[in-house]
Structure 1
């Protein structure tokens, strides 16, 4: 008890600092979980959570019978997986290229420029993208017109829309990801490069045999942790850029939940969809942490 008392006297300010964060988590993360009840109810707003009739698993059954649910899940996974893969390749490549720059001011300037889009919201960026990709006045279509290519409706064509989402998301976030891999590069022993140079390896072979193997643990770690985002295709981005003509390729779980719950007031059904997504995401997140521990020796706790 004396040891615990001394620890408490020494560390109570640190525990006190946790109180505001714990209160916010309780208010915004745990108390709202009572709304899960709506997934098993025919929710009526004026009757509330405890007055709405209980219907069991009928909302989930309705979800399984919904004609477009397969396409919605496919769109979500398809866009999310492409974002994960591209979001790994581009930052790794940029980090390696930045590492090869010898002038430090050039390196820092470029790193700052590619990092800036991360701080811009999709509300702002969507307006920019709509103007840039406009089939009538967008600068990209004007450039394509110089080469005799007909205007392309990038945000209104199901063939192009998913790839525009991936490319624009990578452009926004790869600067942030680059920081992680640049940090990994600093942990590589410089003597390995010297030994490779003595053996006759040029810069390209040094990258293949020293840089990439040195970055491999963090690459594996980031990839395994990203598995938990397989069902997160980016609501903010897609919601601000999609439209009814591209629902076939753009409609994901989060936008579907929004339309069902907010626009059509099917609160119980929308909650059931969100609950199913949460359960599946929880499984993926758990798997990602297990893989991260076994493959990259990374532990959360």
Structure 2
């Protein structure tokens, strides 16, 4: 019996992490002595990558949720930029500016929210972007290769993962106007933008497409979340066209290896969609349905008929 107990104590537990990306932090938390099947990466190093966080905000001042919470998280950001509408009230500007955080905070105004990838004036070499419908995750686990390149999760641009969804399909089609051979979809809040390359990409975007806002009715009909402006997908396609994509990044297929979210959603996608469709108030489903009714031609005809009927009823009374 004693021999059996000794054998049990000497047994080395093996953790099966097949198809998983790991950092040293994750290994420290794992009790197993052997880790099977994982891909190992390096964590963020401040000396190599100084990163700004850019946050798109609207009239509701929802960025306060992130501002109040960020100091309690483990993150790599040394600066924080809040992008707000150019007509935001002085009171709201003052309110946002007064937020206390350990990170250097600045508020920048912008005209078009769908252009926020390009709107932010960033003075660090790298930056990430999210919006005020999210907060920072408890641990922002950015992955880096042995040669200090950010490792970016992507989704294959196939029918199952992309083409079947209008928003993804639109981003994919737009990206092919840079590199026709692009087959990767990257989420805006999952990439670390290189600021210098972002600036050149945005100049090229303006030369090709300008800054025109897409028709709001088309957005609703296509079930899109906001106007399709510059995105992480078109950015990597631009770098691919230049032949410099892999000078800056390595990539990992998130349908196979998964991905850790750097930002956590705290409001619904419906609420986010309402804001990006025109600075509408935060009233989620109801506001969105009202907006759709306002812009579709059929709905306008129905409204006119209802008004006529209402007038006739008043006259009869």
Q: Is this a same-fold pair by TM over 0.5?
A: no
Q: TM-score range by the shorter chain?
A: under 0.3
Judging by fraction of residues, say which structure has more strand: 2
Q: Compare relative contact order (CA 8 Å, sep 6+) and give the higher one, 1 or 2.
A: 1
Judging by fraction of residues, say which structure has more helix: 1
Q: TM-score, normalised by structure 2?
A: 0.22
Q: TM-score, normalised by structure 1?
A: 0.23
